[in-house]
Amino acid sequence: MNRLDEIFYIRYGSQLDLNKCEICGVGEGYNFVNRSNANCGVSSRILRVEKKEPFKAGSITVAMGGSVLSSFVQQEDFYTGQNVKVLVPLKEMSLSEKLFYCQCIEANRFRFSTFGREANYTFDSLLVPSRDEVPPKIKKANTDLSFNSKSLSETKIKLNTSNWKWFRYDEIFEIKKGKRLTKADMQDGNIPYIGAIDSNNGISAYISNDEHLHQGNTITVSYNGSIAEAFYQTTKFWATDDVNVLYPKFTLNRYIAMFLITLIHREKYRFNYGRKWDKELMEASLIKLPAVKIAPNEYEPDWQFMEDYIKSLPYSSCL
């Protein structure tokens, strides 16, 4: 084991306040990295700051407050906000090794808290595996995971929510409740088991039990646990009893599903441990969607717009 400062040159970041910086658009300026645990810590883009050199791509940023010890390898030159440290390897290091050390750093998160034992004072002396202790499979890992960033449509579409309309969930979906299956009763197989979790497309296990399967081309929504986590399911699956399954009353495809699950997920703030989004409540809930007029004072969801919008986004060709 080695101290972090025996492997990295460690210093505080730019110590900037975003509200004092000049914000710019994508393709301009530099990434602004703060103490978030999302989007590689990047919260905005800012123009070059006079008399402040940006940090170089390939450096590691670590949050000392906020989402404590959230660690990321930055892929572009960047500035940082307050209370962020920047790590530069003392010797040449591959991307896979840097990612390994990010995980090692984050594994120590339990030692610190924002308003308790702060990370600033002892971070540099944190013990992590030495360079020689990095597993060979990490050193040989392929990090060249390129994705096709192209969109399926060259037409750029803007969202104008002023003409969207409200629809009840039971107007556009038939909602069915999942069925409990205990771990003791699970049999190994290749059928996705959808749990009330917020990752891995909701899949918490693979089973062979097939008594209570749901059809693919549906949307699953957790109403307990990780409430309002929504995922598009393409194949048959078993959903736990903490999950509602939304069967479309329209022609659903993966593009429309991506549009819908984004909106469904934004309802998360309405629910908590004491207020579940159960089947009956969901059926009566409202969702605001792009709409087309089909008769005086009568509208229906504009499914084609939703599909076209998703297809216009970068990386839509990967869906």
- The DSSP code sequence of 137-158 is HHHT-----------S------
- Identify residue 249 by its one-letter amino acid code: K
Mean predicted confidence (pLDDT) in 274-293: 91
Q: Is 61 exposed, middle or buried (0-12, 13-18, 19+ CB in 10 A)?
A: buried
Per-residue pLDDT tens digits for 103-120: 999 999 888 876 667 788
Mean predicted confidence (pLDDT) in 191-218: 95
Do 59 and 177 reside in the same domain of the chain?
no
Do 280 and 210 reside in the same domain of the chain?
yes
Q: Is residue 216 part of a domain?
A: yes
Do 314 and 165 reside in the same domain of the chain?
yes
Q: Is residue 292 part of a domain?
A: yes
Q: Is residue 173 part of a domain?
A: yes
Mean predicted confidence (pLDDT) in 209-213: 95
Q: How far apart are CA 98 and CA 57, in angstroms?
A: 12
Do 202 and 93 reside in the same domain of the chain?
no
Instruction: Quote the number of domains for the chain.
Output: 2
Do 67 and 129 reside in the same domain of the chain?
yes
Domain that holds residue 101: 2-139
Do 229 and 262 reside in the same domain of the chain?
yes
Do 111 and 195 reside in the same domain of the chain?
no
Q: How far apart are CA 311 and CA 319, in angstroms?
A: 9
Do 196 and 106 reside in the same domain of the chain?
no
Mean predicted confidence (pLDDT) in 72-80: 96
Q: Is residue 14 part of a domain?
A: yes
Mean predicted confidence (pLDDT) in 128-138: 93
Q: What is the pLDDT of residue 211?
A: 95
Q: What is the pLDDT of residue 149?
A: 81
Q: Is residue 152 part of a domain?
A: no
What's the distance, CA 50 to chain centroid?
A: 33
Do 84 and 212 reside in the same domain of the chain?
no
Higher pLDDT, 46 or 112: 46
Measured N-to-C along each axis, helices 254-265 and 303-311 cross at an angle, to the nearest 10 degrees, of 90
Do 73 and 211 reside in the same domain of the chain?
no
Q: What is the pLDDT of residue 114?
A: 64
Q: Is residue 181 part of a domain?
A: yes
Q: How far apart are CA 273 and CA 189, in angstroms?
A: 32
What 3-state class would DSSP assign to 221? strand
Strand (E) or helix (H) holding 258: helix 254-265
pTM: 0.64
Return the CATH number at 314: 3.90.220.20
Per-residue pLDDT tens digits for 236-265: 999 999 999 999 999 999 999 999 999 999
Mean predicted confidence (pLDDT) in 201-218: 96
Whether pLDDT at 147 is above 80: no
Mean predicted confidence (pLDDT) in 270-286: 87
Q: Is residue 149 part of a domain?
A: no
Do 172 and 131 reside in the same domain of the chain?
no
Do 172 and 125 reside in the same domain of the chain?
no
Q: What is the pLDDT of residue 221?
A: 95
Q: Is residue 120 part of a domain?
A: yes
| Least confident span in 25-29, 54-58, 128-132, 183-187 | 25-29
Q: What is the pLDDT of residue 139?
A: 86
Mean pLDDT of the chain: 92
Q: What is the pLDDT of residue 115?
A: 65
Q: How far apart are CA 170 and CA 157, in angstroms?
A: 28
Mean predicted confidence (pLDDT) in 274-299: 91
| Boundary of a domain, candidates 88, 109, 139 | 139
- Among candidates 180, 172, 166, 174, which has minimal Cα distance to 246? 174
